[in-house]
Amino acid sequence: MPWIPWLKQEAKVKGSHAVDPWSLSTPLLQWSETDAWTIGHAVEGLLVTGASGSGKTSTSGTRCARSFLEAGFGGLVLTAKQDEVQLWIEHCRATGRENDLILFSPEGPWCFNPLDFELNRKGAGAGHTENLVNLFTTMLEIADRTGSNGGGREDESYWRKAARQLVRNFCDLLILATGHVSIPDLYRAIISSATSLDQAASEGWKRNSYCFKLLVDADAAAKSSIRREDFKLVADYILLEYPGLSDKTRSVIVSSFTSCIDVMNRGVLRQLFCGRTNFSLNDSEQGKVIVVALPVKEFGEVGVIANVLMKYCWQLAVERRDVKQNPRPVFLYADEAQFFFYDRDFLFQSTCRSSRVATVYLTQNLSNVLEAMGGEGSRAKADSLLGNLACKVFHANADPVTNEWAASIIGKKRQFFMNANHGHQSEDWLDSAMGLSHSRNVNAGVSEQMDYEVQPSAFHRLRTGGPANDRLVDAIVFQNGRVFGQTGRSWLPVTFRQSD
C-alpha cells in the first residue's frame, strides 16, 4: 500500500510552552512518514506540473492550498478556470476560514485603485510621484500584455520619455489638487489641457477646463516647500511646455497615452480599479484570503489583466512588509499559472523568501512557461523563475520537453550496464551448411556511465487518478538542497488519493 501524503496538524502547545506557529520548521504536510513539507520549504516556492487530467489540481494542488489555510496563512489566489472560485470557497469552508475570504469580483463590494493604494500606503517610499509613474506604466504594460520590449523604432525612447513626463506632471497635479489619483481623472485632466499657448491664456479655456480648475485648487492647497517647487514645475509644463509643443508631437504623445489607458478606463476594469480603494492588499498579512474572482475562461483578456494587475500590486505590497512585526506567512497561488506570468516575475521570486511568501504555480508543462515569458531573454527569465521555485512536483506528463527537463533537474548518477553477445563462425562451409561443425564466441562485460536517476519515460507511467486507478495519483517530488529520508536522494515518489 503506497504512502498517502496527509496534512500535518501541529500541536499549538507543547508542555507548558506555546509553540511558534510561524516557525520555518513547522510542518504543513507530510510527503512520507519521515519527510515533511514545512513553512521553510513552502516559502522557497513550489512548482507543480502535469498534463491535463493528471490529477495535479485535485491532489497536490489541493493538499498545498488546504495546508496553507489550516496553518492560518493569508494570501492571493489567481483564477483561470470557471470552477476555481467555488473550489476556493469550499477550501475555506472545509478549513474554517470562510470569514477570511475576500472575493474580488464585479458582483462584490470591493474596489482596488492601484495608484491610490501606492499614494496612500504606509512607508517612507509612499507618495513619491516617480513610484506612481512606474506603477502606472507597468499597469499599462500589463493591460497591453506586450511587456516593455518596444517595437524597435529609433525614436521610441523619446516617445516613452515624453509619455512618462506627461503622466508625471498630471499625477502631481491631481495629488496637489485633490490628494488622489485615478486613471479616469488623469484622462479627464489631460484631454482638457490647453493645446496652444493662446488657448492657455484665454479666459474661455480657464472658465471651462477641468485641467485649469485643478491648477487653481493645487495653487490654493497647503504645500510643503518641496511640493511648492513641484507645483512650479507642473504649472510651467501644463501652461508653457506642453501647449508649446508642435501639434504633431503633442498629438502623438496624447494618443499614445489615451490608446494605452482605454482598456483600463471602461467596463469592469474601470469599476474595479478606478474608484476609491475600500480594502487593502496588506489584509492578507492579517490572514485574509483574496480571490481574484474573474476567471480567465469566463472574462477572457479582462480576466488576465485583472489577475496579473492584482498579482503585481500584491507582490509590491508584501515585499515591503515587516516580517519581524508580523511573521505570518502569506501565499500566492495560481493554477493554470501560464496565464499570469509576466516578465518581472523572476525578480520577485528571487527575493520573496525573506518576506515569507509561499508561491505555488501549477501548469501543464515547461513550454507554457517559456511561451508566457515571451520576448527578449524569455528563456533566461523562465530559467530564473523556475530555478527559484525550489520544490517541484511532477505529475504524469506526455510532453517530452518537460520530461527531459524534469529528469535533468533530478540529475544523473553513475550506473552499471551489463552487456553480452553470442556468435559463431563455421570452420567449413559445407559442414556449416549441414550443421555438423562450428565454433562459438561468447563475450560479456560491464560498462559504467552517467545516466538519469529517473528516466524521462517514467513520467509517462505515473497514475492519474479516477476509478481506473482506484483514485490514486502518482507524482515525483524534488526539493533543491534536500535529501529525503525515505529515499536518501533529492527526489521522492509519492502517491495521493483523490477525494471522493
Percentage of the chain beyond pLDDT 90 is 69
In the predicted model, is pLDDT for residue 352 greater than 90? yes
List the beta bridge partners of residue 331.
75, 358
Helix (H) or strand (E) holding 361: strand 357-363
- How many C-beta neighbours within 10 Å does residue 312 have? 21
What would the CATH number be for the domain defined by 44-109+302-409+456-497?
3.40.50.300
- How many C-beta neighbours within 10 Å does residue 485 have? 13
CA distance linking residue 188 with residue 191, whole number of Å: 6
In the predicted model, is pLDDT for residue 15 greater than 50? no
In the predicted model, is pLDDT for residue 247 greater than 80? yes
Q: Which residues are CB-neighbours of 224 under 8 A, at least 6 positions away?
A: none
Residue 314 grid cell: 500584491
In the predicted model, is pLDDT for residue 17 greater than 50? no
CA distance linking residue 72 with residue 326, whole number of Å: 13
Q: Which residues are CB-neighbours of 87 under 8 A, at least 6 positions away?
A: none
CA distance linking residue 54 with residue 32, whole number of Å: 20
Q: Which residue has the higher pLDDT, 127 or 497?
A: 497
Domain boundaries, the chain: 44-109+302-409+456-497, 114-269, 412-452
Per-residue pLDDT tens digits for 315-344 = 999 999 999 999 999 999 999 999 999 878
Helix (H) or strand (E) holding 369: helix 366-373
CA distance linking residue 472 with residue 2, whole number of Å: 9
Residue 396 banded pLDDT, cuts 50, 70, 90? very high
Tell me the C-alpha to C-alpha distance, in Å, between residue 85 and each of 40, 132, 188. 28, 31, 35
Residue 442 grid cell: 561468447
Q: Which residue has the higher pLDDT, 2 or 171?
A: 171
pTM summary value: 0.87
Q: Which residue has the higher pLDDT, 245 or 138?
A: 245
In the predicted model, is pLDDT for residue 125 greater than 80? no
In the predicted model, is pLDDT for residue 68 greater than 60? yes
Per-residue pLDDT tens digits for 195-242 = 999 999 999 999 999 999 999 999 999 999 999 999 999 999 999 999
281, 117 contact by CB (below 8 A): yes
